[in-house]
């Protein structure tokens, strides 16, 4: 995404938003004007920052833990036929359970703190990361493996120097998906039961009819998510460099 295009789109969106508010005369507790939201953003900046920090920690820890678990699982699946036979059906079956439906159970088990949200984010990104990286590991060009074999390569070194390296672009694709899903997981976790975080703040503001604050929290969440996408995109490009 080009920066300039992004800014132009954002400005256009704000203009349309303002125009809708003016033309329809909609009540501000249904749709507050951009200006009102901007004021709320400034007025509640400390409150929003405090809650945003919690959500950031949840999403980032969820991303890191989910990605590490996904990478390890993919390697295990790629190197062990027994693991493929046993784990793959479980993995596929687990996707039949909507992760969102688990949110109440996770809150019950892991409490109202950040861990139930982190685990929610981990669960939601684990499968896309595992699946994308596993695919990459299984698609190593056969010629590379032939070459390694004639060179007397060890299994572990073939895995690291060839299979792992050639699967990095696939890992990048998996992480891109994870960046889309992780904030969703964290916010849904916050909706179900939390005392902190942007998702919680939105519910709180909604309940008190502070719709401008609700929109302000939503915008911060959107900006954070875009930043996460951009960072992961840079990382994914680095992983796919020279491939």
Partner 1 sequence: MNAAPGISFAGKASIDGTALFAPITLKIPAHQWTCLLGPSGIGKSTVLRLIAGLETYVDFNGDIIASDAQPLTDRVAYMAQNDLLFPWLSVADNVAIGARLRGENPDTERAMKMIARVGLSGHEGKKPAALSGGQRQRVALARTLMENRPVILLDEPFSALDAKTRAEMQELAAELLVNRTVLLVTHDPAEAARLAHSGYVMQPDQLIPMDMPTTLPVRSIDDPQTITTQGALFHILRTGAQ
Pick from 45, 208, 237, 241 the residue near partner 1 by CB under 8 A: 241
Residue 139 interacts with partner 1 (CB under 8 A): yes or no: no
Pick from 39, 144, 224, 226 the residue near partner 1 by CB under 8 A: 144
Among 90-98, 161-169, 191-199, 229-237, the segment contacting partner 1 (CB under 8 A): 161-169
Residue 180 interacts with partner 1 (CB under 8 A): yes or no: no
What secondary structure does DSSP assign to 152-216, as a single string?
Answer: T--HHHHIIIIIIHHTHHHHHHHHHHHHHHHHHHHHHHHHHS-SSSHHHHHHHHHHTT-HHHHHH
Pick from 95, 154, 195, 206 the residue near partner 1 by CB under 8 A: 154
Contacts of 216 (CB under 8 A, 6+ apart): 37, 38, 40, 41, 44, 48
How far, in whole angstroms, is CA 232 from its chain's centroid?
A: 10
Under a CB-based contact definition with an 8 Å cutoff, are residues 226 and 95 in contact?
Answer: no
State which residue, 148 or 187, has the beta carbon closest to partner 1.
148
Residue 2 interacts with partner 1 (CB under 8 A): yes or no: no
Residues that bind partner 1 (CB under 8 A): 141, 143-144, 146-154, 157-158, 161-162, 165-166, 241-243
């Amino acid at each position: 995404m080009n920066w300039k295009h992004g800014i132009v789109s954002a400005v256009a969106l704000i203009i349309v938003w303002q125009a809708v508010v003016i033309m329809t005369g909609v009540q501000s507790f249904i749709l507050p004007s951009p200006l009102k939201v901007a004021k709320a953003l400034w007025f509640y900046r400390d409150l929003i920052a405090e809650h945003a920090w919690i959500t950031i920690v949840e999403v980032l820890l969820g991303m890191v833990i989910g990605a590490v678990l996904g990478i390890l699982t993919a390697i295990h699946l790629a190197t062990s036929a027994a693991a493929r036979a046993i784990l793959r059906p479980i993995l596929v079956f687990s996707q039949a359970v909507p992760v969102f439906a688990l949110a109440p159970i996770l809150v019950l088990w892991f409490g109202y703190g950040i861990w139930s949200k982190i685990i929610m984010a981990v669960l939601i990104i684990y499968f896309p990361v595992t699946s994308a990286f596993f695919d990459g590991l299984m698609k190593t060009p056969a010629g590379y493996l032939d070459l390694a074999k004639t060179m007397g390569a060890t299994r572990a070194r073939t895995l690291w120097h060839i299979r792992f390296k050639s699967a990095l672009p696939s890992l990048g694709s998996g992480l891109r998906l994870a960046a889309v899903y992780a904030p969703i997981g964290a916010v849904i976790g916050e909706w179900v039961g939390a005392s902190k975080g942007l998702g919680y703040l939105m519910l709180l503001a909604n309940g008190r009819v502070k719709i401008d604050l609700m929109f302000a929290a939503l915008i911060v969440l959107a900006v954070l998510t875009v930043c996460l996408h951009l960072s992961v995109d840079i990382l994914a490009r680095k992983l796919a460099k020279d491939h």
